[in-house]
Amino acid sequence: MKTRKILSFLFTLTVSCSVQSKTLTIMVNDTRYQRVTGFGAACCDGAMCPYGTDTQPVRLLYGPKSKIGLNIMRMEISPNFEGDIIVPEWGNYDSPYDWQGSVPSAKYVKQQGGIVFGTPWSPPGEYKTNGSASGGKTGDVSTRQEGRLREDCYDKFFPWINQFLTYMKSKGVLVDAVSIQNEPDWWVNYSGCLYTPEQQLKLVKNYAHMLDRKKFPNVRLISAEPLGFDPKYSNMLLNDATAREQIDIIAGHLYGHPPLGNMKSSSALAAKYNKEVWMTEHSSTDHIDHLPTWHEQLLFAEELNECMLSGCTGYIYWYMRAHWAFVGTGEAVELDGKKFTVPGNVKNKLLPRAFVMSHFSKHVTGSTRVGVKSTAGESTEAPIEYSAYTKGDSIIVMAIDTTTTAYDLKIKLPFKVQSGTHLLSTGNETANLCQNNPITINEPTQELIVSMPARSLNTYIFMMAPTAIRNLTPTLPKSDGAIYNLSGRKMVNGKLPKGIYIENGKKIYMNR
């Protein structure tokens, strides 16, 4: 081993550097991109039974005091009406499949200052062409019928959504956003409804004004969420002036299409019209017989990173409780006719994937992404990926190394920094998931060297020097006259709840 001589204005983590280490330089600039609203997961059926009423997963995952720091929860708007107690023909749930199921978890998330949104898998069956909430892709080919919203029922869709919002409010939950449809382009035998891009446009353009924004002034409307983030669905809405005024968030899933493809394409037009972009569902490496490997966890980190690089403002994973997700179920699985317990799948224990998510959810939420380049080239599905953010008086640099090579990471920053922290994850064992090391800087500097171990996920948080913070003031974007909450969400005009907001770049307090 040998020690390296470092210039007095540089400081590296107290880590010995082997002769095999290589140096990689990344340059962060002050080009501003999207503001990140947050990260979350779905409180739905399956591993979340009894259907959302068990609040232990959200207690482990949500809120500023949790180890993970999620702040967005997705729930299903079931096809039933208030008071209906229906167990649908396509599934069997431990508790009634109705709007009440997710109330306990949703209420807790809201109490933690989180965001709750609802997605319909299907409108009520009586509104549909096949007369059922099922998507209609049955096993018997001769009886298959596509389930679509009947055109003579388009005017019933948003009143039904209003009923859901009213019911949730009566239970103490002000829902923040509602979606048009889960995977409108995927024909299924469970709860589902098909829409073409043209049909979604007609529904939104002609009937979305029926969403009761007077009664629910802060509710936002999310586009349909296509299976692979097909840009045709969002672009058709955004290219129509009437529909564009109704839609607040563009959404989609990543199945079969990685973030830097369809999602990046959809984000380009959304950014032009100042619309948020949410990735609202994806399940990554969901093995039946084992927890994801550490390499697969790093691939998940890369997916998160690539979503940010694609312009994403909100990332919502699929189930929050599953052995391939964030919280263990403790349930046995069946493989080749035999039941066994997956090692490490302990009920209500935080799993490695949750701590991978925490690098983003605890630190990137509320930040603004800034530009970054590297001597390794552009970060597009490479073995080493990176991104950078600014948040308050800090600069955050994310770096993911899926290789077997350790690096000395030379970071060039746009502002002088005076101290920092290195959050490091290097393996699936708990001790390797939560390493926290100080970065000591002798004097304010814009260049420094830190370590990036092989096969690691790294978050470097640098605190700007006071002069750098003052110098930031002139670069703030001009105010658009809007008011934002502390999570960066644009508030709808009207009476605002009591609390602290941002207006014209300054904090204001509403006491009414």
User: What total of structural domains would you count in the chain?
Assistant: 3
Q: Measure the CA–CA gap between 11 and 61, rounded to whole angstroms.
A: 35
Which one of 264, 282, 300 terminates a domain? 282
Residue 1 belongs to a domain:
no
Residue with tokens 């708990």: 430
**8 Å CB contact between 502 and 483:** yes
* Nearest Cα residue to 100 out of 125, 114, 80: 80
Do 266 and 401 lie in one domain? The reply is: no
Same domain, 195 and 52: yes
User: Model pTM?
Assistant: 0.86
Q: Are residues 421 and 493 in the same domain?
A: no
Query: Are both 42 and 92 inside the same structural domain?
Result: yes
Domain boundary (253, 282, 311) is at: 282
Q: Are residues 44 and 28 located together in one domain of the fold? A: no
- The Cβ of residue 136 has, within 10 Å, a number of other Cβ atoms equal to 23
Residue 386 shares a structural domain with residue 273:
no
The answer to whether position 222 is within a domain reads: yes
Residues 89 and 52 in one domain: yes
Instruction: Give every CB contact of residue 440 below 8 A, 6+ residues apart in sequence.
Output: 11, 419
At 320, list the tokens: 């929050």
The predicted pLDDT at position 166 comes to 94
How far is C-alpha 240 from the chain's CA centre?
27
pLDDT digits (tens, 9 = 90+) for 189-228: 989 999 999 999 999 999 999 999 999 999 999 999 999 9
Q: How does pLDDT run across 262-280, given as a tens digit for each residue? A: 999 999 999 999 999 999 9
Residues 444 and 491 occupy one common structural domain: no
Last residue of a domain, one of 251, 282, 313: 282
How far out from the chain centre does Cα 409 lie? 28
Q: Would 309 be classed as within a structural domain?
A: no
Same domain for 272 and 390, yes or no, is no
- In the prediction, which pLDDT does 87 show? 39
pLDDT at 454: 96
Give me the DSSP letters along 56-75: HHHHHHBSTTSSS-B-EEEE
> Per the domain annotation, does 373 fall within a domain?
no
Q: Flag whether 98 is in a domain.
A: yes
Q: What is the CATH number of the domain that holds 423?
A: 2.60.40.1180
Distance separating alpha carbons of residues 115 and 72, to the nearest angstrom? 5
Is 328 inside any structural domain? no
* Domain assignment of residue 297, yes or no: no
Measured distance CA(140)–CA(61) in Å, rounded:
42
Question: Which residue range is the domain that position 419 belongs to?
Answer: 22-33+381-474
Shared domain for 191 and 137, answered yes or no, is yes
Tell me, what CATH number does 145's domain have?
3.20.20.80
Residue 374 pLDDT: 85
CA nearest to 487, candidates 175, 75, 65, 35: 35
Residues 467 and 491 in one domain: no
Residues with pLDDT less than 50, the chain: 1-19, 81-96, 378-381, 470, 473-479
SS3 202: helix
Contacts of 362 (CB under 8 A, 6+ apart): 68, 69
Task: For residues 49 and 175, state if they share a domain.
Answer: yes
In a domain, residue 70? The reply is yes
pLDDT of the residue at 421: 98
